[in-house]
Amino acid sequence: MATYRDPFERLQGELERMLEQAFAAFGPGGVSPSVDVFDAGDAFVVKAELPGLDPRSVEVSVEDGALTLRGERKLPEPQAGAAFHRREREEGAFRRVVRMPARVAADQTQAEYRDGVLTVRLPKAPESRPRRVEIQAA
């Protein structure tokens, strides 16, 4: 019997599997902030969860096929006399370097910050793009 599976749910399942494998190899922790790297055919897409950031405090740069995300998250000071019941949200400076799996056209990199997610799109260099090779009939 064929079961309907939502494509997004399938993607989540695939992400989960890869995450388990990644952590099995390196153990938890030691990374900040969390990033996901995707292949979009003609570009690589890097997404980082960075809620509540001032976009002006984020620096995105590409050098030698590596993407660097740098910034700082500052949480506003609570008003005087406020008592914390829970304090789970983190603040501080971060720096992440993500190596691209193939050559990218660094000068065409685009970054967008929306709903607390930073998305960087790095177009692949022409030689790294998928190419369909025509077979010549002899």
The backbone torsions φ and ψ at residue 67, rounded to the nearest 5 degrees and listed phi first, read -100, 130
Print the binding letters for residues 6-45 with other proteins: x by CB under 8 A, - otherwise. Answer: xxxx-xx-xxx-xx--xx----xxxxxxxxxxxxxx--xx
Specify the stretch interacting with other proteins by CB under 8 A; choose among 58-66, 88-96, 103-111, 128-136. 88-96
Q: Which residues of 39-67 are buried (b: 16+ CB within 10 A; e: fewer)?
A: eeeebbebebebeebeeeebebebeeeeb
Residues that bind other proteins (CB under 8 A): 6-9, 11-12, 14-16, 18-19, 22-23, 28-41, 44-45, 49-53, 73, 75, 78-79, 81-95, 98, 101, 113, 115-117, 119
